[in-house]
Amino acid sequence: MNKKDKYAVFGNPIKHSQSPQIHAAFATQTDQKITYRAHQVEPGRFKEVARSFFDNGGSGLNITVPFKIDAFEFADELSHRARRAGAVNTLALQDDGRIYGDNTDGVGMTRDITENLAWEIGDKRVLVVGAGGAVRGILGPLIKRKPSLLLIANRTVSKARQLASDFSDLGDVRGCSFEALTGNQFDLIINATSASLAGELPALPSAIVSDKGCCYDMMYSAEPTPFMRWAAENMAWAVSDGLGMLVEQAAESFCIWHGVRPKTKPVIELIRESLQAS
């Protein structure tokens, strides 16, 4: 191994990260020789630990909760989509020693939805549930797919409206309360809250899924999430968790680092089998 082969994911907690297995599969598939490890970083120490990683031969980092804003501030250069998101999940060492920051979450999700699941976004009525940091990463790529309506619903309405305002220059995006959804129907509903991790469900009214409506949970697990069960009970035409998004955003990071795009479907299957076996 040389210094160009060292990669890692930083987060807290990080114990259950699938990233090492995903990138190992990508490396085998594309004949790359790398090391990739998961590191738990203590709060307040991100910049110190990241600087040490790059100073000691690291070439790239994936960043997960809660350090995506820290990574945004750490990067010397930012992609356009990272600037729009205000967060970074991929750091790459450049030839001149500068650190490049990107956000691959949104493109990972839209690629999973449109290519792996073969669902449509263009000209569809899209509802995004939640207005946290995860939503900032997906709005730009979603708007780029030109839905007929993009609505952000959140318990704290002011956050949804502020987020919509921040991205309104890209297209028609609006914010509202959960109560305001009653009487409306959507072709694609994306749960961008972390409620599923706690076994909870956002306060969504019933009958908001259209006849051929699809429901997507950005979280993933071995079993259907509460949101996925709600979608099935509300007669969604198709339902998915976010495991494909995880793999697709990782593939985009891998391509940034290595200049080659791995095939994702076999890796999605591999990780799914691993989750179900554990």
Catalytic residue annotation: 68
Q: What is the 8-class DSSP label of residue 72?
A: H
Question: Which element (helix H / strand E) includes 188?
Answer: strand 186-191
Q: Which amino acid is at 123?
A: D
Cα–Cα distance measured from residue 102 to residue 274, given in angstroms and rounded to the nearest whole number: 28
**How far is 220 from 275, CA to CA, in rounded Å?**
10
User: What token pair was written down for 7?
Assistant: 């990669």
Beta-bridge partners for 102: 90
In whole angstroms, how far apart are CA 260 and each of 30, 248, 271? Answer: 8, 13, 21
Instruction: Number of helices (H) and strands (E) in the chain: give both, helices first.
Output: 10, 12
